Structure formats: C-alpha cells, structure tokens
Structure 1
Amino acid sequence: MAARHKFLFEKDFDEETEFFDEPEFASGPMLGEGAGTAVEEEPEPEPEAPTFSQEDIDAAREEGYRAGHAEGLETGRAEATAAAEQANADALDRLSQRLEELSAQVRGAAEQRSSESLEVALSLVRKLFPALTRRHGQSEIETLIVESLERLREEPRVVVRVADAQLDALRERIDGLAAKSGFAGKVVLLSDEDLAPGDARADWADGGAERDTARLWREIENAAARALGADRAADTLADRAASDNGAHETAGQTDGNGPATTGETDPASGPETGETANTPDRRSA
C-alpha cells in the first residue's frame, strides 16, 4: 500500500508550465490544429451552352406567333364586345330620353284634347240648358213638390212659390200632387217674380227646399273650371259665360241673396251642390 503524503501547499501555480510536454504530444499537432483548413475541391465543369436546330427555332417562332395571334384575337373580341355594349347602352339612353319626350308630348296632347272636349261639351250644354229648362222645368218642380210633401205628411201647411209663368199650370195639378204624396195638410201655391222659369221654393214651419237653376249652372261651370285646372280655362269659361248671358237669363236668375241649385239649402249660405240640401231650418224634398 502506497504511503500517504500530506499536502503542504508548497506548489507554485504561477510558474510557467509547459503543457503536453509528454513526448507523444510534444512533436504531434495539437487538438484542433488544421480543423478550419478548407479542402480544395475540383471546380465543376461549366455546362455546355444549349444548341438549337433551325427546326427548333422555326417551331418556337410558330408557337409564339400562334400564342400572340390568339391573345390578340381575344383582346380584340373583348374590346369589340365592350364597344358594342357601350354603343347599345348609349342607344338605349337616347331611346329612353326620346320616349320620355314623346310620352310628355302625348300626355300634353291628351290633356289639351280633354280640355277642349270639356269646353265644347260645356258650350253645348250652355246652349241647350234654356231649352231643357223650358221643356222639363215643370216636371222638375213637380218632383220637388212630391218629394217634399211625402216627408211632410204631419205638416199642417206648406207654401210653394214658383215663377208667374208656371203658376197656372201647377195650380191645376197641385191637388193631385198632394194626394199622390199622401199629404193631408194645406198646400198654398204662390207666384214669385224673383224666381226664374223652372225654379221653385217650398217653405214649411221649420224648414224649406228650393230648386235654383242659376246656381246649379254656376256650380257646373265651377266644376268644369276645376277639371280644366288652368287659369286660361277659367278665363275662357268666364268669357263664354259673359257672351252667353242671355241664355242664363232665359234659364233663370237668382234673387238678391243668390240662392242656387235645386236642393235642400241652408238659408244663410245656400246649397253647395245637388238637387236639395237639408238644414234644421230648411229641409228639401
């Protein structure tokens, strides 16, 4: 057994020490020496330049021509299609604008014809109205009397006023009209110089009814003017009404209060339209 020696710390580590002083390492290369030295490799031979025959060149040229031609055709078709679509769109826009213009012209012509037709019809009615009043005025008055008396069977007394020219003819028929309507009261028939031929007014205790052809005609003219819808038409109607004033006078004039159409009326304002107008104070037949 080897003897043990006590370590006395007498070793000086600052002294130069030559490592690897063993004979086998002194002459040999150190570890890693020459590790970074590149090994020279033989250069690769340069690739040979490709060679093409004339046939290859001609084939490539033909293929390029075909490809370019096809691409040109496709581009040309696309451009032609786009141009045609734009031309069609422009043509449709112009056609649409023209149709709108024609439509406006047609509407204007139709409105003009409608206005002219209404004016002609109104002029004809204005010419015929006096004759119609003379021919049918009496029957209209009788209808007013009968319808009034049918609803006034409990009234003790009804006063009927007509134009003087129609008084005698109605006096002969008034009793028959009262019996036809079932009216048992008294019917008083009077003439009124303010009433035109064809007009009549019936009064009872709490109301009345009247037929006023002058106001009826004015309402017809006002309705026609509203239908025409233009100041020009209204002026035309007014001018024609003035020129045909004689016809109006024949048809009948209103009294000082200006009552109008046949119909049930309000004593204060008169009827607006129609044959009759009911109010608490004046009821129509």
Structure 2
Amino acid sequence: MVTVMPQGAVRQRFLFDTNSIDEIEPASSVEEAPAPEPMISVAEHKKLLKAAEKAAFASGEAKAKKALGEQHQAAAQKELLALRERLEVALEDLETQMRAQEQNLVSMCFLIARRLCSHLIAREPLAEVVALLSECLTPLRKIPQILIEVPADDTGALEGMVASLVLKSSFEGKVHVVKSDNMTRGDCRIEWPDGGIIRDRRKTVEQIEMAIKSHFEARERASRTE
C-alpha cells in the first residue's frame, strides 16, 4: 500500500510506541518475611522469671534498708541536737548556780572574817595599831617627830607602850599620842612631815566589798559575751 503525502508536508520518522530500557519501571521488590521469634521452654521461662523476681526483691530490699538507715540517721541526729540543747541549758543553769553559790560563800567568809576581826579588836584594840607603828618607826627613825591619833579610850594604854617601841626601833625623834573622839577602836592615823598612814576599818571593809562585787560582775559580763 502506498500513501501519497500532500505537497509541502514534512516527513516524520516513524517511532515504535515502546519505552526504552532506561524508562522501564523496576519491578517492585519482594518484602522479606519477619524473622521468627526465639522460642524457649516453659522450664527456662520459669527459671528466668524466678531470677527476675529474686533480683527485683533484692533491689527492693536494698532500697528499703537504705531508706530505713537514712531515716534512723536523721532521727539520731535530731535526737543528738535536742540532747545538746538540753545539755547547754543544764550547763548554763549549773554555772549560774555555781556562781551564786560561790558568791554566797565568799560573802559568808567575809562576814565571818569581819566578826572575828571585831572580836579580836575588842580583846586587843591596840594590837594592830602597835604593829603598824612599829613598822613605821624603823624606816623613819631620822624624822624629828611622829604624831599618832587613836580613840580616846586607847590613848593612855598607847602612851605607856611608846617608850619601849621607840627604844626597840632606835627612833631618834619624838612620838606624840593624840586622842580622837570620832575614831573606832582599832583605827589610827599616823602622820609625819612628809606623809602619813590611816587605818580605817570601815573604809577597808567597803573597799573589800566593792572588790568582791566588781569581781563577780566582771565574771558575769564575761560569761554573757562567750
């Protein structure tokens, strides 16, 4: 059969209606079958289950022991802290009681000493006066004169002792005994041109009491600042 092409038509190359090898779609890949799951026997399953239960029990027991130990430790620390606080309070109370007891004992001893001193002065009112005068005469033996003032009740007795005291101490001057209506027995005042000594038992007692009071007040302040 012959086909006549019209005039002016372009001749086209004949192509077969087929695809090239590159255009051919690849065949769908075949899906692989899943691997079979491993199978174990019932005995092995029970054995593994028992081991897992044992491990879980051991882990739980260890955690429980640890928690219990921490709880006991916290309780012990709390109890120790409370015990420490109670001990501190008890020690503070004990220290306060000891200071008060010590202060009472010192006051009592001082009171006893005052009473003994009063009894001794009543028995020998010039004992301390003579001792004090004897201590002054030796270092002051070159002094021209010494004046000693004592209570009026003791003037006569002291005048009778002056001569022996002057002789014993090699005192070169004169000793004048003067009576006083305001002095308490046991007190005296010794004067010389460059100085003098006063024995006043009342002021001495006041100074001792003040020293004791200052001592305990200082200890109280020190204990508060610690």
TM-score, shorter chain, exceeding 0.5: yes
Query: Structure 1 residue 134 and structure 2 residue 142: aligned?
Result: no
Q: Is the partner of 1:194 in helix, strand or coil? A: coil
Determine the structure 2 residue equivalent to 1:74: 62
Q: Is the 8 A contact 2:125 2:154 kept in 1?
A: no
For structure 1, list consecutive stretches of 5 or more residues without a partner in the other structure. Answer: 1-32, 230-285
Provide the C-alpha distance between the structure 1 equivalents of 2:90 and 2:215, rounded to a whole number of angstroms: 24
Give the helix-richer structure, 1 or 2. Answer: 2
Query: Structure 1 residue 64 and structure 2 residue 19: aligned?
Result: no
Match of 2:97 among 85, 102, 109: 109
CA drift at 1:39:
7.7
CA drift at 1:202:
1.4
- Seen in structure 2, the aligned counterparts of structure 1 residues 179 and 38 have a Cα distance that, compared at 3 Å, is farther
Q: Is the partner of 2:141 in helix, strand or coil? A: coil
Provide the C-alpha distance between the structure 2 equivalents of 1:109 and 1:134, rounded to a whole number of angstroms: 37
CA drift at 1:175:
1.9
CA drift at 1:125:
3.1
Q: Deviations over 1:42-68 (max 9, x none)?
A: 544431122222112101211110110
Q: Deviations over 1:167-213 (max 9, x none)?
A: 22222221221232232112122222222211111111122112111
Query: Structure 1 residue 174 and structure 2 residue 169: aligned?
Result: no
Name the % identity. 23
Determine the structure 2 residue equivalent to 1:256: none
CA drift at 1:36:
10
Provide the C-alpha distance between the structure 2 equivalents of 1:143 and 1:123, rounded to a whole number of angstroms: 24
Q: Deviations over 1:232-273 (max 9, x none)?
A: xxxxxxxxxxxxxxxxxxxxxxxxxxxxxxxxxxxxxxxxxx
Q: Once structures 1 and 2 are overlaid, which stretch shifts more, 175-184 or 77-86?
A: 175-184
Provide the C-alpha distance between the structure 2 equivalents of 1:35 and 1:165, rounded to a whole number of angstroms: 155
Q: Which amino acid letter does the alignment assign opposite residue 180 of structure 2?
A: D
- Seen in structure 2, the aligned counterparts of structure 1 residues 202 and 51 have a Cα distance that, compared at 3 Å, is same
Provide the C-alpha distance between the structure 2 equivalents of 1:227 and 1:132, rounded to a whole number of angstroms: 28
TM-score where L is the length of structure 2: 0.77
Provide the C-alpha distance between the structure 1 equivalents of 2:216 and 2:183, rounded to a whole number of angstroms: 31
Query: Structure 1 residue 157 and structure 2 residue 157: aligned?
Result: no
CA drift at 1:218:
1.9
Q: Is the partner of 1:172 in helix, strand or coil? A: helix
- Seen in structure 2, the aligned counterparts of structure 1 residues 43 and 228 have a Cα distance that, compared at 3 Å, is closer
- Seen in structure 2, the aligned counterparts of structure 1 residues 37 and 207 have a Cα distance that, compared at 3 Å, is same
Determine the structure 1 residue equivalent to 2:15: none
Q: Which amino acid letter does the alignment assign opposite residue 41 of structure 2?
A: S
Q: Is the partner of 2:184 in helix, strand or coil? A: coil
4+ aligned runs moved over 4 Å, structure 1: 35-43
For structure 2, list consecutive stretches of 5 or more residues without a partner in the other structure. Answer: 1-20, 218-226
Query: Structure 1 residue 89 and structure 2 residue 45: aligned?
Result: no
Q: Is the partner of 1:123 in helix, strand or coil? A: helix
TM-score where L is the length of structure 1: 0.62
CA drift at 1:159:
1.4
